Chain A
Amino acid sequence: MANRITLVEAVTQALAWELEHDESVVAFGQDIGANGGVFRATDGLQKRFGEKRVFDTPLAEAMITGLCVGMSTQGMKPVGEIQFSGFMYPGVDQLISHASRMRNRTRGRLSCPMVLRAPYGGGIHAPEHHSESMEAIYAHTPGLRVVIPSSPRRAYGLLLAAIRDPDPVVFLEPKRIYRLTKQEVPDDGEALPLDTCFVLREGGDVTLVSWGAMMNETLKAAAKLAEEGAEAEVIDLGTIKPYDSETILESVERTGRLVIVAEEPRTAGVAAEIAAEVAEKALYSLLAPIERVTGYDTVMPLFQLEMSYLPSVERILGAARRTLEAKR
């Protein structure tokens, strides 16, 4: 039976599956109960699973994050929601000082099998503080896992994997594509692998790596390149940290060209890390300098300029063409 749903509905479906099949799972956050979340990611879950399993919290992000830490150390699997990723920062102390190091500093005596979800990224004309892409903060923190889905099917499979993972996961949901497309997502409880890239398109001329909402722009650029006679390999990072460098390196060794596309600010970003690793391990396979197409090192602008900030298909194409035209 066809079950065509959006990315945000896939999030709901994954939460419902885990709440149904694992009684240690609880979900909480601001407005997620009767209201079903401001994006409706928890729509109907409180009604179905009761107020003990799905509940609203006071308006305090550090507390939501700390509740995840504490509950998870006591054998529960909390899934906390921060309403927008721009409001995660009060809870970053709990993530960096506790969630990420609990297992290590107790030599495995305590651990934090928790998920902290948040809608993230730009492109929906939201108010200030609602559009940033700060995944590098979490990726830079030893001990955290950072996962960003880019389609309904991957949102379902990766969220299931994140909840089942024995370590803390920051799960960032690209809200720009929450409702962009529908995809058939069987509700079978099948998780997708973490720490693994997804090759969305195979090609031998240039490797395009991206994640989150930017996968769409990147795939469009790849289609355009194909019209121009160049076959791009398109890789969705999926798990941002720890990421699957093997798939990327193998691809770059074949194509000799790498373009990394990301909404995040440029300096010290995840794209920079990937570029550095490829330079370390596959420099002699490169036929052209690595290109990064990213947000700028500016404050994320209010929405009049947000599309000028976000990488566009044109910018991606420009970078890809430069790598294809480069002469060694």
Chain B
Amino acid sequence: MKTTARFEIGYEQLLDPDGKPMVKRLPAFANDKKTMLGLYKTMSLTRAFDTRAIALQRTGKLGTYASCLGHEATHVGVGSAMAEDDVMAPSYREYGAQFTRGVKPEQILGYWGGSERGNVYEGPAAGDFAWCVPIASQCLYSAGAALAFKTRGEKRAVVVFLGDGGTSEGAFYEGLNAAGVWDLPMVFVIVNNRWAISVPLARQTRAETLAQKGLAAGVRGVQVDGNDIIAVRKVADEALKRAREGKGPTVIEALTYRLSDHTTADDATRYREAKEVEAAQRKEPFVRTRKYLESLGIWDEKKEKALVAENKKTVDAAVKAYQEAERDSVAAMFDHMYAELPDSLREQREAALREAE
């Protein structure tokens, strides 16, 4: 039998776990101090926010919360590569990516604290989609947004995040197929953190990589070390440039690890070995980023301490804003159902308001 097609999946890693470059020449931005400091600071803020959010949940001040512990380099690397007028479609833990788009930490707390007002983003995120809980369904509306950009001839791209579990969903494949058939300006970011709640990747798929799932739809796929901020940013830059230039979509599989429970309602010790988590901990994204910054001579213990203090201030202010925000009014439940409230709903609204008095 002759071979009619051959495929390859590339893997990008530029920093080793000790922060040493693995190639002779890193991408130009890796030598730009301002860029690198910005990336690290956003990662660090994300970690500080995440830690506090879990503490708030544990003390009854926040609803169920999905931690992003260990995903910071992937989220910040991809988010920072986006142009302001690109559109992001998150799943439900991409806080680091959202911070790069101007979403405020108090808005994220607002959402997990039970109010839709947390989804009212401003600035670059004003056109971004809100959280998507039904797994991988974001892939379909993301394709729609990308098709709108393509139809209007706009040089804008859509970045859609999903997890390893999400790649088992039909919506993922249908979204990929749409992206492929129309060469849509889209980047699928599969955050492969090895666990879909309690189901490990080996029980999710027989595929060697998740990036290759794009190939069947004619979409290029690339793997990246998701804990390597420089590698993530590089592949995201390339994918977004291609998308905006009309060269078509990309699947980025970012290999990372979910160091936390799935959410605060989960207990991962029920289904995974501590040894595995310890091994993953040794590859986490912060140490190598910090060591790399130190090697550039732009970071030290003193700066780290100052950043920790600054993050605490930022998060304190966000928590204060969240806790001082007024509760949603009962009317808010009705007022955004339709552009104009139908009579039948007006009647229900009035009844609910009377009930609330």
B partners with A: yes
Give the residues in chain B near A57, CB-CB below 8 Å: 178
Q: Contact flags (1/0) for B128-159 with A, using CB distance below 8 Å?
A: 01100110010111111111110110000000
Residues of A with C-beta under 8 A to B338: 103, 143, 145, 166-167
Closest CB of chain B to A100's CB: distance in Å?
Answer: 9
Known A-B contacts A103-B337, A107-B120; the reply to A71 vs B144 at CB < 8 A is: yes
Out of B144, B151, B336, B344, which one reaches A69, CB within 8 Å?
A: B144
Contact yes or no, A67 B147, CB < 8 A? yes
Give the residues from 206 to 254 in chain B that come closer than 8 angstroms, CB to CB, to chain A: none
A229 at the interface (CB under 8 A from B): no
The residue of chain A having its C-beta at the shortest distance from the C-beta of B144 within the complex is: A70
> Does A275 make an interface contact (CB < 8 A)?
no
The chain B residue with its CB closest to the CB of A277 is B344
Interface 9-mer from A90-98, A117-125, A205-213, A258-266:
A90-98
Q: Does B342 contact A (CB under 8 A)?
A: yes
Interface of B: prevailing SS: helix
Measured between beta carbons, the chain B residues less than 8 angstroms from A251 are none
Residues of B within 8 A of A109 (CB): 119-121, 126
Is the CB–CB distance between B336 and A66 below 8 Å? Answer: no
B residues in contact with A142, CB < 8 Å: 337
Q: Are A67 and B144 in contact (CB under 8 A)?
A: yes
* Given A103-B339, A195-B343, A242-B343; A70-B119 close (CB under 8 Å): no
CB-based contact A243/B174 at 8 Å:
no
Q: B143: which of A63, A105, A166, A245 is its contact (CB, 8 Å)?
A: A63
User: Are B134 and A106 in contact, with the CB atoms below 8 A?
Assistant: no
Give the CA-CA distance A26 to B149 in the complex, in Å.
13
Residues of B within 8 A of A67 (CB): 140-141, 143-144, 147, 178
Is A22 interfacial (CB-CB < 8 Å)?
no
Instruction: Tell me if A73 is interfacial: C-beta within 8 Å of chain B.
Output: yes
Q: Choose one: B129, B134, B344; the contact of A73 (CB below 8 Å).
A: B129
Task: Type the 1/0 row for B331-357, where 1 means its CB is closer than 8 Å to any CB of A.
Answer: 010001111001111000000000000
* Residues in A228-246 with C-beta less than 8 Å from chain B: 242-246
User: Which chain A residue shows the least CB distance to B136?
Assistant: A93
* CA gap between A109 and B177 in the complex, in Å: 29
Classify chain B's interface size. Answer: 35 or more
- For A59-98 the 0/1 string (1 means CB < 8 A from B) is 0101101111111111110100000000000100110011
Chain A residues with CB below 8 A from B141, complex form: 66-67, 69-70, 73, 94, 98
Query: B21: CB under 8 A from chain A?
Result: no
Instruction: List CB contacts (< 8 Å) of B92-143 with chain A.
Output: 116-117, 119-121, 126-127, 129-130, 133-134, 137, 139-143
Chain B residues with CB under 8 A of A60:
174, 177-178
Say whether B343 contacts A70, CB under 8 Å: no
| Interface pair B140/A69, CB less than 8 Å apart | yes
A66 near B174: Cβ-Cβ < 8 Å: yes
Instruction: Using CB atoms, name the residue of chain B closest to A245.
Output: B344
CB of B119 within 8 A of CB of A107, answer yes
Of B130, B134, B148, B152, which one neighbours A70 at CB under 8 angstroms? B148
Distance of A62 Cα from B141 Cα, bound (Å): 10
Count of chain A to chain B residue pairs whose CB atoms are closer than 8 Å in the complex: 133
A107 with B332, Cβ < 8 A, contacts A70-B147, A243-B344, A246-B343 known:
yes
| A163 to B192 CA separation, bound complex (whole angstroms) | 40
CA of A63 to CA of B336, assembled, Å: 26
Complex Cα gap A57–B179 (Å): 12
List B contacts of A246 (CB < 8 A).
Answer: 343
CA gap between A106 and B121 in the complex, in Å: 8
Q: Across the interface, which residues of A come within 8 angstroms of B178, CB to CB?
A: 57-58, 60, 63, 67
Residues of A within 8 A of B152 (CB): 76
A327 interface residue (CB < 8 Å to B): no
Nearest chain A CB to B276 CB, angstrom units: 33
Question: Which 6 residue pairs spanning A and B have beta carbons closest together?
Answer: A70-B144, A66-B140, A70-B141, A242-B342, A74-B148, A166-B339
23 A–B contacts from the bound complex (CB under 8 Å): A63-B174, A66-B175, A70-B145, A71-B145, A71-B147, A71-B151, A73-B145, A90-B170, A93-B137, A97-B133, A103-B336, A104-B116, A105-B119, A106-B119, A106-B120, A107-B117, A109-B126, A110-B127, A142-B337, A166-B338, A243-B344, A244-B343, A246-B343
State the B residues within 8 Å of A (CB).
87, 116-117, 119-121, 126-127, 129-130, 133-134, 137, 139-149, 151-152, 170-171, 174-175, 177-178, 181, 332, 336-339, 342-345
Given contacts A60-B174, A97-B133, A106-B336, 20 further A-B contacts (CB under 8 A): A52-B151, A58-B174, A60-B178, A62-B171, A63-B177, A66-B139, A66-B143, A69-B144, A70-B142, A94-B141, A103-B339, A104-B116, A105-B116, A105-B130, A106-B120, A109-B120, A109-B126, A111-B339, A145-B338, A245-B343
